[in-house]
Chain A
């Protein structure tokens, strides 16, 4: 079983080394790939000292979707079987990565999402953002006819089919919800497992609180356009 652990880092000098360390302990058999998305702090310097991991540097900040896309393309060019995504800010617990990978190995799913809202333990995001997440979940649940409790969670594991499909044409701006949407329309199986998250230790969220609803409107637009387009086929 060849696993690639994809860690995304944008200005995570405070947390990145701990995340790598934890991931190495929890997934000793996995290759660790860190995509540094144009960090302006010491992240690059810290990563370049490491010999035990694979590091890709973006020449400038492309946003989280761009970093994921680079990771997916690296994966698809090699012979890995599974990919697990872990954020460089320490909000995901590498100790739970195995639970995300298991359903893939058992061929129960092509994408496994670590959901905060199944058992509702740990950090559940701020109140204002939870409303947005809920609305998005409702909409995807309705459109995909499958209940998704945490469509914005970035703690995910993919098998090769999913990664290669997404690597072709990646939804840069709003990766998580659209990923689910694309894969589900292609008939791939999506499963959620319960995951706890920590409040992020360092770094800044990729979506500010004020931007949450702007983000939501844009995601809804993307989904809607795809839905109309897909419906005509």
Chain B
């Protein structure tokens, strides 16, 4: 099955991905991270975990993509995920900025009407 002996790097990467997976799950339980953002991370760590356990996987992917140097396909996959993640953050930030603007606008108008009422009643 696995033509390679278990190397130190492999053990390290398995442990690394497992602990990050555990961290995400703990964070979700403690409500420190919203599920919608956690999903992408879980997918990334799972993929990382699978790639570390089944080292043949990366070879298969490489030959499928026509990449000679296997680590390059690993980088490609990782960069792909990171792009997705950063892009997702841009969307979230834009949305938040829009909402913050709407809040500030409403606050400014409300504040004025409240101060005016206070002045009228006093």
* Contact (Cβ within 8 A) A62 B104: yes
* Contact (Cβ within 8 A) A59 B108: yes
* Contact (Cβ within 8 A) B111 A62: no
Which of A15-23, A70-78, A94-102, A146-154 binds B? Answer: A70-78
* Contact (Cβ within 8 A) A58 B104: yes
Report the interface size class on chain B: under 10
Residue among B101, B111, B112 facing the most chain A CB atoms (10 A cut-off): B101
Q: Is B9's beta carbon under 8 Å from chain A?
A: no
What DSSP secondary structure best describes chain A's contact surface?
mixed
Q: Is A127's beta carbon under 8 Å from chain B?
A: no
Chain A contributes a number of interface residues (CB within 8 A of B) equal to: 16
* Contact (Cβ within 8 A) A70 B109: yes
Residue of A nearest to B97 (CB): A172
- Nearest CB of A to B103, in Å: 9
- Nearest CB of B to A63, in Å: 9
| Residue from the list B104, B109, B111 in contact with A60, Cβ < 8 A | B104
Q: Is A181's beta carbon under 8 Å from chain B?
A: no
Interface residues of A (CB under 8 A from B): 35, 54-60, 62, 66, 69-70, 73-74, 77, 172
Interface residues of B (CB under 8 A from A): 101, 104-105, 107-109, 111-112
